[in-house]
């Protein structure tokens, strides 16, 4: 069973870090085992409609001092379409996608910055103000 390190960011600003092994973009629910949960803890249910986005991360700490780049390097090879996402709260993400379609519940974005702590991000469409191809 594949276990993914995720940071769940809620619409209300709450953040939860942990591991999931049952995320599916076409399902409304996933389960998260919190980062520092005691042994034999049960995973917590998370409903996607309550989220802004799920960040699939390399590690939970990251580098708080690192300023993620919001642009592509001039010689950077990319897979998919370059995209800029502006969330309802004003946060901006830049990356690539292969699955954005208006009207879908969500889509994946792969960060433009290869040094980002985020491997990929599942964005919940209802949390988005605008999406543009760049």
The tens digit of pLDDT for each residue in 58-74 reads 999 888 899 899 999 88
Question: Cβ contacts of residue 127 below 8 Å, gap of 6+?
Answer: 11, 51, 52, 53, 87, 88, 89
Q: Which of 57, 51, 56 is nearest to 106 (CA)?
A: 51
Distance from C-alpha of 48 to C-alpha of 78, rounded to nearest angstrom: 28
pLDDT (tens digit per residue) in 13-70: 999 999 999 999 999 999 999 999 998 999 999 999 999 999 999 999 888 899 899 9
Cβ pair 48, 26 in contact under 8 A: no
| pLDDT tier, 77 (very low <50, low <70, confident <90, very high otherwise) | confident
Average pLDDT for residues 5-19, to the nearest whole number?
97
Query: Model-level pTM?
Result: 0.93
Phi, psi of 50 (to 5 degrees): -85, -5
Helix/strand/coil percent split, the chain, to 5: 5, 45, 50
Distance from C-alpha of 54 to C-alpha of 65, rounded to nearest angstrom: 21
The per-residue pLDDT for 13 is: 95
């Amino acid at each position: 069973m594949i276990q993914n390190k995720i940071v769940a960011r809620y619409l209300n600003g709450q953040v939860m870090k942990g591991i999931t092994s049952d995320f599916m973009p076409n399902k409304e629910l996933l389960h998260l085992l919190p980062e520092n949960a005691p042994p034999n803890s049960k995973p917590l249910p998370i409903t996607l409609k309550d989220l802004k986005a799920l960040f699939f991360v390399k590690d939970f700490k990251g580098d708080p001092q690192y300023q993620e780049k919001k642009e592509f390097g001039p010689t950077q090879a990319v897979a998919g379409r370059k995209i800029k996402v502006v969330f309802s709260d004003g946060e901006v993400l830049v990356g690539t996608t292969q699955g954005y379609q208006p009207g879908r519940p969500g889509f994946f974005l792969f960060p433009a910055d290869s040094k980002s702590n985020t491997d990929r991000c599942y964005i919940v469409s209802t949390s988005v103000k605008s999406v543009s191809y760049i």
